Structure 1
């Protein structure tokens, strides 16, 4: 039976073939993405161990059984299952390129269908986002900075929690800027409008270094803490249930388009590698207003 060892992105002479293959795959990723992929690989490696399968000897049928395990035993939805299988695609693609396997077992695996609800990607509307900002400002300077980083700059929650005070002390081309390390280890420089800069400076207070967002007891704020704060602030602001940090990023992108930003400028703002992702947000803005249901209802109600 295969016994999985630790999956860590560091090479040593005692690693198994599977661990070396995992390390080779993970070498292309950093930060939260790498941590997520390590977790996904660990789930697969542990499943292989229980079922007596060597990951580098797995066949398509094994992957199909693993997919059913994700759905029926772990209770993963289509999106989570799709992502975990996609990680395996990458793992086996690298293993094949490195001649560790002859053919990837993922080639003909049936991927779950993930349905994208375009109308759900809009996030908060202008009045709701304003209400959340007002509630956060009234609560604390930290809450205000947290909401502003995501709701006005479009940062992801991991990016917001990683902001250091030193990251927004520089000036470039006449603008105070924030430097962040984005998804996939891509650096970004973001100009800070005066209301945003003021909120970040108020949050920093007398501190001149260290993580900007801290908890009430002075420890660095993490993703879970940020999630709880956003959920609590949303409840206090009277917003619909289900608010989470990424909702604010959605809201920021949609609001940027509503404010007159071009698709190209919105893509730069959102830091989308694929412009088609930004187009989704643009199309979503008018979906409900232009929906054929309005015209049909008026047509059927017309007594003339």
Structure 2
């Protein structure tokens, strides 16, 4: 069936999400007595109307729900299951990404966080450095096993693991990170690097708790998450002067614009063009004169 063949390349959370939304669309087609492989563009737009107007879903949610539907029809068209793609030109509600205000931890805060993790030792030590220095995702950090960091490549100890979408990743291990991993592993030769107190592999919920505990020990007032630490690692790498291409490698982003979003969030207020414009067109001292004039006008005659 085209449905199963389309989903075949996807795994994990992505497959679950795509399968859910595609099944939801196919169920809607069945209720409308539509044959999915013969629907028209207008039929797809009726589904969009159903999601956006009848169910009241946000435009961004509608776009997410339509992603596997559009992919399904694109796949079916190229495989010859239909003579046209009914979703390719279907209109969707417009939406815009609001710029994120998240900047992550500043250099001094990240340094304090790492120091706090090191002082707590064991899994706290390793979790702090895996997230704050290696920019790992929570799922990646929890999946690491002892064998993932035993290999040496061209004189570098490396961390080799499976990243997002099942893609293999390999990163060099700086000495401070290597020490953190050794502190968590001890004399063990196998098993997961991050463990719960009962010896079972640490899950994402447990990692969230560890990160929050380290944050409190470091004196950081707001709550910290694993994703914020990944964000912090990326922005601090940019702040340290690493090139965009090198930071892309650190973050394992496939698109430069994804990494550039972090850079834009970091500097969008400091180097905004409005500063250059005002400096160029407003005479030096003009704002002081204006302030003095407004005070004089407000003073009683």
TM-score by structure 1 length? 0.78
Q: In the alignment, which of 289, 293, 301 is matched to residue 303 of structure 1?
A: 289
The separation in 1 between residues aligned to 2:54 and 2:183, in whole angstroms, is: 48
Q: Contact conserved, 2:148 with 2:161, CA < 8 A, in 1? A: yes
Per mean C-alpha deviation after superposition, the further-off stretch among 70-79 and 192-201 is 70-79
CA contact (8 A) 1:33 1:183 kept: no
Q: Does 1:26 align with 2:7?
A: yes
The question of 1:271 aligning with 2:257 is answered no
Partner residue, 1:7:
none
* 1:85 counterpart residue number: 66
Structure 2 distance, partners of 1:216, 1:91, is: 44
Residue 26 (structure 1) shift: 1.8
**1:40–1:84: 8 Å Cα contact kept in structure 2?**
yes
Q: d(CA) in 2 for partners of 1:187 and 1:132?
A: 28
TM-score by length of 2: 0.78
* Local SS of the residue matching 1:217: coil
CA distance in 1, matches of 2:74, 2:139: 28
Q: What residue ranges of structure 1 are gaps of 5+ in the alignment? A: 1-19
RMSD: 3.2
Q: List runs of 5+ in structure 2 lacking aligned partners.
A: 291-301
By how many angstroms is 1:46 displaced?
Answer: 4.3
* Cα drift, residue 252 of structure 1: 1.2
Higher radius of gyration, 1 or 2 = 2
> Within 5 A, what are the aligned runs for 1:1-304?
20-49=1-30, 52-67=33-48, 70=51, 77-120=58-101, 122-139=103-120, 141-231=122-212, 233-234=214-215, 237-241=219-223, 243-291=224-272, 301-303=287-289
My pick for the range that moved more, 119-128 or 176-185, is 119-128
For residues 234 and 46 of structure 1, the distance between their equivalents in structure 2, rounded to whole angstroms, comes to 46
How many residue pairs get matched? 284
